[in-house]
Structure 1
Amino acid sequence: MSNSPSLLAMFKFVFGKVLTRRWLLILNVLALTVITLLQFVVPQIEQYIIDKIIPQQNYTGLLWAIGGLLLTALVLGVFNYLSTYYMSVMSQNAITALRNQLYQYLLKLDTTFFESSKTGDLMTRLTSDINNLQSLISANMLNMVGNLFTFVGVLALIIYINWQMALAVSLTFPLMFLVYRVFRFRIRSAFLHARQSQARMSNQMQQTLTQIDLIKSFNSEQTEAGRFEKLADTNRNDMITAGRNQAIFSPLIDSLNYLGIAIVLLLGAYFIMKGHLTVGALVAYLSYVGMVQSPIQSFTRLLNQLQQASVSYGRIQSVLDVTPTIVNVAEPKPFPTLKTGIQLDNVTFTYPTTRGKDDPTVTLNDVSFQIPYGQTTALVGQSGSGKTTITRLIDRFYDLDSGQITFDGVPVTQIDLSDLRQHIAIVSQDIFILDGSIRDNVLYGRPEATDDDIWQVLELADLAAFVRQLPDQLNTQVGERGVKLSGGQKQRLSIARALLKDAPVIILDEATASLDNQSEKAIQHALNNLLQSRTSLVIAHRLSTIHDADQIIVMADGHVVERGNHETLLAKNGTYTALYNAQFE
């Protein structure tokens, strides 16, 4: 993506949303046409009053002319209102559509994209950057289009009236264009730096506000405040730089406009003294010159908005240019009815962020094993051995470098992505709780379920008794990230959510690692309910929790080094035995 997207591409992108409701655009164009035509009438009335009515002392004609002028002003006001109002409607519709498009596209991007992106920066693109594009669909912007037609028409008229004065005024236009060319790049560069520093501020705010407990526990409020202050100062300086360029640019354009008016007054006065022009004609001519200069003045006033919009468009387009790679094949298959289970054959995988480097870390290397249907398979091993990576590959957050993962013989890449994930439920040590009610959290994977369904899974998750004693029961608000719940309660809530999803494949990724022994024992009953009659893969930190697993796969450095049940692995006196003994020394 180019760092300097063209204005034409930006307008095509934005107005593509406007054209979905053409009738609003047609109404605005009609209103602007009427406004433009009426603007031609006012100078003619002024000229008629000065050249005809005043010399003739025609009081009746004066009243009629003033009445016509007021009526014209009234009609202009009505059509300006219509144009402004319907432009606002059109603008809001288009911007909402753009924001929805960007948000939906973001949700479809691969996990790799989010691993390399800053949350605060993405939020800025969805909010401030989208808002900046709204200036392109404002009444001022559409008036700019109308003013261009006015510019051409009035320029032809003043050439017809007096070509000498028109030629003299036109000499200022190349100077304006030159000033615009010089400052366009300066202002855009300044606003680009300002948007980048604003995104860094958003990242800092997002990071600190979501880690407030860490900040307070380490007494680092002053440190974080100092970091934010530096970022805020950088953003202030960037905005001042942009403002300084704008402050130089606008007076230069105004000075060139006054130069044009001075030229008209000079030549007009000369032609009046020579008897070639009337005073009324000069007044009307000055009005027309103002109408010629108006589009240029409007454009210079909008330059600030255009450059901000251009920067924001580039930032938005850089997201839309990212192509997801984890997508469905041309004719995806439904998730199969499991009878044999899940098979990993010679799976090799390196994380995308390290691929192609001189010394990439191969996370999994030639891994093969089966997760039999209806049984519990446990994965154990030291941190970094590749356990969690296997679960993410089964759920197809990434695609393999080589090898294959199949569900009853159907490759994971051939299965419809939505259907695949609908049939897999994951409970991890990183518990994701919505800022809503208990009902909202349990229903997340199956929103059509009833309250009876919710209570049933809460019973199985050993959480029903706790919820019933709450004043608002299912409507109880849990707070952001579930701050009103204990660790064990949040874990039970995530188990209830997985139970309600009723997926045939269950993945437990160290689901009790963050709990104390007492809490873990209390939750183990809920986990047993969850795993009953399902094909399950369990990553266990505490080996005491997997004694009853049908098979245990032992991982080390991205390889499978041992497999068997608890008793047979202990008898081997190998890696599993070493891990087991280390926990009970």
Structure 2
Amino acid sequence: MGKINDRLKTPLKIVKIIAEYEPLYFAVSLPQIIVNTFLTLAAVYFPKLIIEQLTDGQSFSSSLTIILGYALALILLKVGGVILRNKSSLHAAMFSSKIKKSVGYNSMHIELSDIEDPKTRDIIRLAGRVADLTNTMGTIEGIVSDVIAILGLAWIVMRLDFLFILLVLLTLTAKTVFVRIEYLYTQKSRTMEAENNRNGDYLNHISYFNDGAEKEIRLNNLQNWFMKKVSKYRNTMLCIEYMEYKRSAFFNILLAVLVGIQTFLLLWILSKRYIGGIISIAEFTMYFSAVTMLSAQLSSVSDKIGRYNGQALDINEYNKLLTAVQATNDTEDNTDGSCPAPEKTEIVFHDVSFSYPNTDKMVLEHISIAISDREKLVIAGANGSGKSTFIKLLCKFYRPTDGMITLNGTDIWDIPNDSYFQTISAVFQDFKNFSFTVRENITMSEESDSNAIEAAIEATGLSECIERLQNNLDTYLTRQFDTEGIELSGGQAQKLAIARAMYKNAPILILDEPTANLDPKAESAIYMDLFNAAKDKTTIFISHRLAASSVADKIAVFCEGKIIEYGTHESLMAQNGSYSEMYRKQSREYI
């Protein structure tokens, strides 16, 4: 019963979504239903009138009047139908554009823990098909139009014999069973396609555009290796599609046989009644057309219901996307950046433990640490020790498995996202610059503060590099949008990401391996500049290299998800433990 209710509600959901994004679509789509219904019924009734005129000895001029009236009506309706379809296509394109923006916007608001799940990516991929929702609405409109026409045709047919209705329903029942079976297979193959397309899109993007792998592909002769992977993906897709075509062909052949039998019985019965004088030749023509068209309309409805069942699955995926986003929106205040940042920032991890979703292994265990306002904390440790995960939890990318993180005494998960994210600037180990201008990469906004930009690029040592660019701050990165775009070196790209974090001017600054692409001496120099620029901020440095540790207020050493040492540089050096050993090994690199 619940599934039936869901199916009945789905068309209403579709209407609601289209009405929300492009309400004018209905102003042109609904008249199409009237036009299509009239054309169907007219095709049955008007030929009967004309034949009656001709066989009853009426004058040619009388018949011509009906013929001209019918032709004129057809021309007007056909022209009107073309205009309505064009208008409908325009509004459908406008709806598609708006809904694609909605899917993109909502995808960017899903929690990171969800977006990294392949199942969520499949949902987004399938939800993207909702942009074609007007096709689904067109299917619904077709069903409504067909049903109205069916009622009119059934009324005509039943005037002669209810037996014809039973004959049509027999064929329809078989067709409905076929459609239902195809629908069940469609659900299964659709999931397979989404998973395979996710892999295929990646492979296609690499093979078409190389996507940063151009050097590796050419230097290591990877073309054939990649093509084998692409071929495997394409062969899998072809197998899925072949099975769908094969199944569809089988059912269509069975249906064709049934329609042939139905047509034979129909002509046989009508012929006997005409010979018996029960019906005239005009009525013979009308009833044959009516039953044939009734069968076609019922078959069309069955087809459209089957098509609708497949199309309606997209709305379910879109709703799943909205549900996932709603869970995030519940912690957002939609202030558009208007909430002031707090005057002080005291961060405390209260016995925090964490394991990634769908795993039992604890990546962090019993982390308890307090970071005072404006404190400079260095988090050190080998790769895989839990440093970056610590930052992900602080940034609300993941919820702690156990324990709590507070900002100024409030659980960070009780603080609206919009407000909380204003307090944090960050440069991550896997930072991302965009194919926009240098200015936009720093400000991430259409508006900018020239003095703040200058201060940010000065603090990161980018001034000389930007002055050499042809269009200075308005130079594009990459050639995606500008043929004169430039490619930054790894170190320059990293400095630009740091400049973006400095420009945001949030009270908490997080630098997760921010200088991995810089040489040790350059790294040491930029850390000193960053310390000076961030003197009024609570700053957290994450690195397995210790260029900043000697001037930091506190140092926390991570190992296998635990804090094994904590204190000042001097106190940890005096302990002669892990930190002391790491620092002495690295110190010669900065001399």
Asked if the contact 1:437–1:474 (Cα under 8 Å) also holds between the matched residues in 2, the reply is yes
Asked if the contact 1:190–1:241 (Cα under 8 Å) also holds between the matched residues in 2, the reply is no
Aligned twin of 1:50: 51
Aligned twin of 1:172: 171
Aligned twin of 1:104: 105
- Taking a change above 3 Å as real, the CA distance of residues 480 and 530 of structure 1, as seen in their structure-2 partners, is farther
Aligned twin of 1:272: 274
Asked if the contact 1:540–1:546 (Cα under 8 Å) also holds between the matched residues in 2, the reply is no
| 1:164-563 aligned within 5 A | 164-206=163-205, 209-212=210-213, 213-299=215-301, 301-302=303-304, 305-306=307-308, 308-310=310-312, 312-313=314-315, 315-322=317-324, 337-339=342-344, 341-354=346-359, 360-444=360-444, 446-479=445-478, 484-521=487-524, 523-563=526-566
- Taking a change above 3 Å as real, the CA distance of residues 438 and 540 of structure 1, as seen in their structure-2 partners, is same
Aligned twin of 1:357: none
The sequence identity of aligned pairs, in percent, is: 23
Asked if the contact 1:326–1:398 (Cα under 8 Å) also holds between the matched residues in 2, the reply is no
Asked if the contact 1:192–1:311 (Cα under 8 Å) also holds between the matched residues in 2, the reply is no
C-alpha separation between the residues in 2 aligned to 1:104 and 1:240? 35
Query: Shift of residue 92 of structure 1?
Result: 3.5
Query: Shift of residue 227 of structure 1?
Result: 0.9
What residue identity is the alignment partner of 2:396? Answer: R
Of the structure 1 ranges 367-376 and 230-239, higher mean CA displacement relative to structure 2 is found in 367-376
C-alpha separation between the residues in 1 aligned to 2:167 and 2:571? 99
Asked if the contact 1:376–1:549 (Cα under 8 Å) also holds between the matched residues in 2, the reply is yes
Aligned twin of 2:75: 74
Q: Does 1:137 align with 2:124?
A: no
C-alpha separation between the residues in 2 aligned to 1:319 and 1:332? 19
Of the structure 1 ranges 318-327 and 230-239, higher mean CA displacement relative to structure 2 is found in 318-327
Query: Shift of residue 509 of structure 1?
Result: 1.0
**Structure 1 segments unaligned to the other structure (5+ residues):** 355-359
Of the structure 1 ranges 542-551 and 223-232, higher mean CA displacement relative to structure 2 is found in 542-551
Q: Deviations over 1:263-287 (max 9, x none)?
A: 2221111111111111011111122
- Taking a change above 3 Å as real, the CA distance of residues 563 and 164 of structure 1, as seen in their structure-2 partners, is closer
SS of the residue 2:551 aligns to: coil
SS of the residue 1:365 aligns to: strand
C-alpha separation between the residues in 2 aligned to 1:154 and 1:346? 74
Asked if the contact 2:158–2:165 (Cα under 8 Å) also holds between the matched residues in 1, the reply is yes
Q: Deviations over 1:197-248 (max 9, x none)?
A: 3333124335664352444454322212101101101101111111122223
SS of the residue 1:398 aligns to: coil
C-alpha separation between the residues in 2 aligned to 1:309 and 1:401? 39
Asked if the contact 2:437–2:473 (Cα under 8 Å) also holds between the matched residues in 1, the reply is yes
**Structure 2 segments unaligned to the other structure (5+ residues):** none
Query: Shift of residue 326 of structure 1?
Result: 5.7
SS of the residue 2:477 aligns to: coil
C-alpha separation between the residues in 1 aligned to 2:238 and 2:132? 18
C-alpha separation between the residues in 2 aligned to 1:457 and 1:583? 28
| TM-score in terms of structure 2 length | 0.87
Query: Shift of residue 471 of structure 1?
Result: 1.3
Asked if the contact 2:136–2:308 (Cα under 8 Å) also holds between the matched residues in 1, the reply is yes
- Taking a change above 3 Å as real, the CA distance of residues 5 and 468 of structure 1, as seen in their structure-2 partners, is farther
Query: Shift of residue 320 of structure 1?
Result: 4.3
Asked if the contact 1:429–1:514 (Cα under 8 Å) also holds between the matched residues in 2, the reply is no
C-alpha separation between the residues in 1 aligned to 2:308 and 2:420? 45
Query: Shift of residue 77 of structure 1?
Result: 0.3
SS of the residue 1:353 aligns to: coil
Aligned twin of 1:61: 62
Asked if the contact 2:103–2:124 (Cα under 8 Å) also holds between the matched residues in 1, the reply is no
Asked if the contact 1:47–1:284 (Cα under 8 Å) also holds between the matched residues in 2, the reply is yes
C-alpha separation between the residues in 1 aligned to 2:432 and 2:121? 19
Q: Deviations over 1:291-334 (max 9, x none)?
A: 31232332455467445425544554554454776665699997
C-alpha separation between the residues in 1 aligned to 2:41 and 2:326? 54
Q: Does 1:573 align with 2:576?
A: yes
Query: Shift of residue 516 of structure 1?
Result: 1.9
SS of the residue 2:403 aligns to: strand
**RMSD of aligned Cα (Å):** 3.3
SS of the residue 2:261 aligns to: helix
- Taking a change above 3 Å as real, the CA distance of residues 314 and 165 of structure 1, as seen in their structure-2 partners, is closer
SS of the residue 1:385 aligns to: coil
C-alpha separation between the residues in 2 aligned to 1:331 and 1:429? 29
